[in-house]
């Protein structure tokens, strides 16, 4: 067979870069408004309105831009990036099996996470370290999975933050089902505070059937759920143009609920838009899709090599839109934070990293025997039988050391 006659399965890197990253992303897809408050140069708009699903929505009441709040957003973003760097180092040194970097996506994650109310419930992918921080998950707890001592790391019920889901998009359906449960709880007890769930997924996972089905179910049952898609441009090595030919936010129209594209590197806009969407969902008006347009500045995981599929020029372009740099510019130019603030934060982050390293090195695996007990909620004779065998077998090696 002459393979040159077949349609090209590959994409041209130069072409992709031109398509996905023109100089001004506002021109990227005509007709798609990308909501933004904080510009890459650090200037902040005083309000935000947009046409959403045929209606003018004023997001201004949802903007939180007082000095203390902005500093706390910066602090979260700074700490989680430092955490990301330390985790990458731990993996390189063989202390973690794998690491999934989030650098570049801090604003999308911190902004959306900070918009959540305590009674809301978040369903993450495996990259939502920033959202985890906003839900009170300890830094070291996040690394337990990557250290290989658990499949989870925290009690999801204590944080209203589900464990990481590694099978793409499966959690989108869980978020919808959970929201349907919230809906029924509210019916049974109207005194409960209105609540919503939020489903995180990426541009790659947007192609999964589970995302489609979750949006169908959410629309059918008016489930109080927000779909939060971080379009970080790359599904490992495949650009988002292979996943979608129209802006992902526009897909919401096909399901009959609002879709919003927000500058995912603008933490202030992300938070405001997410707060609006959550309120929309909690008030019984149904789901919302948010597409946070951002960029994965690092590799997909520590096992990935982005130099094989994207250009350094591409990466450099996005560095000028770095979510931390733009908020720092704003804080400095508006006189909201000075060198002391940034110096203190750096010291705090270094202490955090040191403690994190100590905690990771101290992590040990539980007994395999414990794992038998966790499979079922109720007694299971065959698992118990295999456990008895395992323990007997292991006991046979108990004296091995003495005779060595």
Partner 1 sequence: MSTMTFGRAINAGLRRAMDNDPKVVLMGEDIGKLGGVFRITDGLQKDFGPHRVLDSPLAEAGIMGTAVGMAYRGYRPVVEIQFDGFIYPAFDQIVCQVAKLHYRTQGAVKMPITIRVPFGGGIGSPEHHSESPEAYFTHTSGLRVVSVSNPQDAYTMIQQAIASDDPVLYFEPKRRYHVKGEVDEAADPASSDMGAARVVTEGTDVTLVTYGPLVPTARDAAVAASDDGTSIEVIDLRSLAPIDFATVEASVRKTGRLVVTHEAAQSGGLGAEIAASITERCFDYLEHAPVRITGFDIPYPYSKLEFHHLPDLDRILDGVDRVMRRPNSLSGLEGAPTPQGAAQ
Residues that bind partner 1 (CB under 8 A): 150-152, 155-157, 162-163, 165, 167, 170, 172-182, 184-185, 187-188, 197, 209-210, 213-214, 216-217, 220-221, 371, 374-378, 380-383
Which residues is 231 bridged to in the sheet? 293
Please tell me the distance from the alpha carbon of residue 374 to that of residue 143, in angstroms, as a whole number. 21
Are residues 327 and 43 in contact, defined by beta-carbon separation less than 8 angstroms?
Answer: no
CB of 371 to partner 1, least distance (A): 8
Q: How far is the CB of 5 from partner 1 (least distance, A)?
A: 34
Complex with partner 1: residue 8 or 188, whichever CB lies closer: 188
Least distance CB 140 / partner 1 (angstroms): 17
Q: Which residues contact 81 (CB under 8 A, 6 or more apart)?
A: 102, 103, 106, 324
In the bound complex, what is the minimum distance in angstroms from residue 98's beta carbon to partner 1?
17
Measured distance CA(219)–CA(107) in Å, rounded: 28
What does DSSP say about strands 55-58 and 49-52: parallel, antiparallel, or unpaired?
Answer: antiparallel
Alpha carbon 19 to its chain centroid, in Å, reads 25
- Cβ proximity to partner 1: between 54 and 381 the closer is 381
Nearest residue (CB) to partner 1, 218 versus 288: 218
Nearest-10 Cα torsion for 15, 109, 102, 9: -30
Q: How far is the CB of 176 from partner 1 (least distance, A)?
A: 5
Q: Cα–Cα distance between 39 and 323 in angstroms, integer?
A: 10
Paired sense of beta strands 225-231 and 197-202, if any: parallel
Task: Give me the long-range contacts of 154-163 (CB less than 8 A, separation at least 24).
Answer: 159/135, 160/116, 160/118, 160/119, 160/120, 160/121, 160/122, 160/135, 161/121, 161/122, 161/124, 161/131, 161/132, 161/135, 161/136, 161/137, 162/121, 162/122, 162/123, 162/124
For partner 1, the closer of residues 341 and 372 by Cβ is 372
Separate counts of helices (H) and strands (E) for the chain: 17, 10
For the bound state, the minimum distance from the C-beta of residue 221 to partner 1, rounded and expressed in Å, comes to: 8
Q: Which residue has the tokens 């988002």?
A: 240
**What is the SS3 assignment for 30?**
coil
Which CB sits closer to partner 1, 13 or 170? 170
Nearer to partner 1, 28 or 216 (CB): 216
Nearer to partner 1, 151 or 333 (CB): 151
Q: What are the start-end ranges of the E strands in 149-269?
A: 197-202, 225-231, 234-235, 238-239, 259-263
Nearest-approach distance from CB 301 to partner 1, in angstroms: 19
Task: Report in angstroms how near the CB of residue 267 gets to partner 1 at its nearest.
Answer: 28
**Residue 384 beta carbon to partner 1: minimum distance, rounded to whole angstroms:** 9
* Closer residue to partner 1 in complex, CB, 213/391: 213
Q: Which is nearer to partner 1, 187 or 395 (CB)?
A: 187
Rounded distance, CA 84 to CA 298, Å? 10
């Amino acid at each position: 067979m002459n393979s040159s006659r077949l349609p090209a399965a590959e994409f041209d890197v130069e072409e992709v870069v031109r398509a996905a990253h023109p100089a001004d992303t506002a021109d990227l897809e005509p007709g798609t408004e990308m909501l933004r408050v904080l510009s890459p140069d650090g200037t902040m708009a005083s309000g935000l309105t947009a046409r959403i699903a045929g209606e003018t929505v004023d997001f201004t009441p949802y903007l939180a831009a007082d000095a203390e709040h902005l500093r706390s957003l910066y602090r979260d973003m700074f700490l989680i990036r430092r955490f990301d760097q330390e985790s990458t180092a731990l993996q390189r040194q063989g202390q973690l099996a794998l690491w999934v970097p989030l650098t570049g996506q801090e604003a999308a994650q911190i902004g959306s996470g900070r918009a959540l109310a305590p009674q809301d419930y978040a369903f993450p992918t495996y990259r939502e370290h920033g959202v985890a921080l906003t839900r009170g998950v300890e830094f070291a707890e996040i690394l337990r999975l990557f250290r290989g001592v658990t499949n989870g790391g925290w009690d999801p019920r204590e944080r209203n933050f589900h464990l990481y889901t590694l099978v793409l998009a499966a959690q989108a359906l869980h978020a919808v089902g959970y929201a349907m449960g919230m809906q029924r709880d509210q019916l049974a007890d109207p005194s409960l505070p209105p609540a919503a769930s939020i489903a995180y997924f990426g541009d790659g996972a947007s192609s999964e059937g589970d995302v489609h089905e979750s949006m169908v179910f959410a629309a059918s049952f008016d489930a109080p759920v927000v779909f939060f898609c971080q379009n970080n441009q790359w599904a490992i090595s495949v650009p988002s143009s292979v996943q979608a030919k129209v802006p992902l936010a526009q897909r919401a129209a096909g399901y009959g609920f609002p879709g919003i594209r927000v500058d995912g590197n603008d933490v202030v806009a992300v938070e405001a838009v997410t707060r609006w969407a959550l309120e929309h969902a909690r008030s019984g008006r149904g789901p919302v899709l948010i597409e946070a347009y951002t960029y994965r500045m690092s590799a997909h995981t520590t096992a990935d090599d982005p130099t094989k599929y994207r250009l350094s020029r591409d990466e450099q372009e996005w560095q000028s839109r770095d979510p931390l740099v733009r908020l720092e510019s704003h804080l400095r130019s508006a006189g909201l934070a000075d060198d002391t603030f940034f110096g203190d934060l750096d010291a705090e982050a270094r202490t955090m990293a040191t403690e994190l390293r100590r905690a990771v090195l101290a992590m040990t695996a539980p007994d395999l025997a414990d794992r038998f007990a966790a499979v079922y909620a109720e007694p299971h004779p065959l698992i118990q039988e295999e456990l008895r065998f395992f323990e007997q077998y292991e006991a046979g090696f108990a004296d091995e050391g003495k005779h060595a």
